[in-house]
Amino acid sequence: MEKFKNKIRKKIFDIGFDSVGFAKPIVDIKASKKLKKFLDKNHHGEMKWLEKHYEKKKIQKKFGKKLKLF
C-alpha cells in the first residue's frame, strides 16, 4: 500500500499541489446521526448534494470490515 501511496504523492506534487494526505474510510456513527438530523431539519438549504449523497457517508456500515480501497 505504501508503494501505491508514494506513486500518488509523486503525481500530486508533479502537477503542482503543495500537499497530499490519506484517510481511512471510517464513518463516525455519532457524526452520521448529527448529519441526518441536520438534513432532516433542512439546514442544508440549497445544497441538495448533501442530502443526495448522505447514504454514501454510511459506506463502511454497508460493507463492514470487507471495505478495501485497492
Residue 27 is assigned to a structural domain of this protein: yes
**Residue 5 lies inside a defined structural domain of this protein:** no
| Three-state secondary structure string covering the chain | CHHHHHHHHHHHHHCCCCCCCCCCCCCCHHHHHHHHHHHHCCCCCCCHHHHHCHHHHHHHHHHHHHCCCC
With left for phi above 0 and alpha for psi between -120 and 50, is residue 25 left, alpha or beta?
beta
Q: Does residue 6 belong to any structural domain of this protein? A: no
Q: Tell me whether residue 9 is in a domain.
A: no
- 28 pLDDT more than 80: no
In a domain? residue 48: yes
Q: Is the pLDDT of residue 13 over 90?
A: yes
Give the total number of structural domains in the chain. Answer: 1
Q: Is the pLDDT of residue 63 over 80?
A: no
Average pLDDT over the chain reads 81
